[in-house]
Structure 1
Amino acid sequence: MKIRDDMTKKQKAEYIFTYYKWRILGVCAGVGLIFFLIVHFAFPDKEPLFSCALINQRIDYDRDDELELDFSNYSGIDLDRLDVDSDYNISYPGHEIEDANTGIFDKFFIKYSNGEYDAMITSVDFAGYCQQMGAEYTDISEYDTGNLPLYEENGISGIDITQTKIIDKLNISDGDKLLLVFPAEGKNHESCQKFLSYLFDM
């Protein structure tokens, strides 16, 4: 069957769709794939210049976004290059969380081993557990900490943020001591220093 001159536009369209639809769909898929590859390789996602995980704290994305914005305004780091994430309710031996997502546990330690965290806000207990899993922390003496309260015990080196003003921004109500530590695998040391300056300038 061929397209005839006496066919209506609707009949011609139906003919083309019936006999050529798979070719048309194939061409569209090919064009879409090419477009995706061009965008993906020409405009790759930029890695964060500062990534901070809030461990076993109340998950609050609005608070996380506000902290990113405030730190961006202070540091001059582009907002799109900051990542503060509280989606880390992690169950571990001695600290069991009901209905905890085991996938979060795996996600955290995979990203940790890949050096994707520049900083962590966590309890002393979890910082110690990470040590047992092989984690190491940057010696806080490598940074200018101003008058921030230091925590240096049992190989854990960081800032006791429970005694700093950021605790109000985090809106944390429990009385556990919270630390800011910098994983040794982290990459953005300059941004870590800016975050410390942000803390002691509050």
Structure 2
Amino acid sequence: MDDLRRKKGLETKNRIRISTTTILAREGMSGLSAKKIADEAGISKSNLFHHFQSIDDILIDLFETITSEIGHALSNFKFKSLEEFFHMLGELTLQLSVEKEETFIAMFHYFNIALTNPNYKQRIVKLKQHLIKIFSDYILSIEPISHVTLTNITESIVITLDAFGMHYSLDRNKEKFMNQWKIQSDFYCHYLRNT
């Protein structure tokens, strides 16, 4: 009985995440309300607040889930070279921006609000730091790199992938994206090996 209750609770939390993402993508942060999220998820407001104390808690959970999914997606691969790693990052960015378009759009809405909201800004910085750590660990597993060089490049990778993903979302030209990403990733490989 407890397992069934736990499973149902996890399913409800996931519906809340999906509903929050949908509203964020469609209406931005100003469109979020407990009523809208509950209605979109097909649950009552009291059920929503049974799983999360506030909308802010939903957002924290949502973006921790997104970060975890990115790390999990990369963990399915073993990279033999930096070139292979960067190519996969490009492919993963394309996949996420297509398969999880709402999530991608929701992230940009959240990012825009974070520019003026210190609490949200702190979360975006935490997300960025987590991605930097994931990318650093993968790069170090492929080739030994100095700490300073690695820190400089991994932060640049996170920033660049955000921008590339956003621009890909505008024109949906995969070939153009991968060509531009190859130019960028060739620079990263050169920098990592020669600095």
Q: Which has the higher strand share?
A: 1
**TM-score range, shorter-chain basis?**
under 0.3
> If each structure's helix is expressed as a fraction of its own residues, which one has the higher value?
2
Q: Name the TM-score, length of structure 2 as normaliser.
A: 0.25
| Higher Cα radius of gyration | 1
TM-score, structure 1 as length reference: 0.24
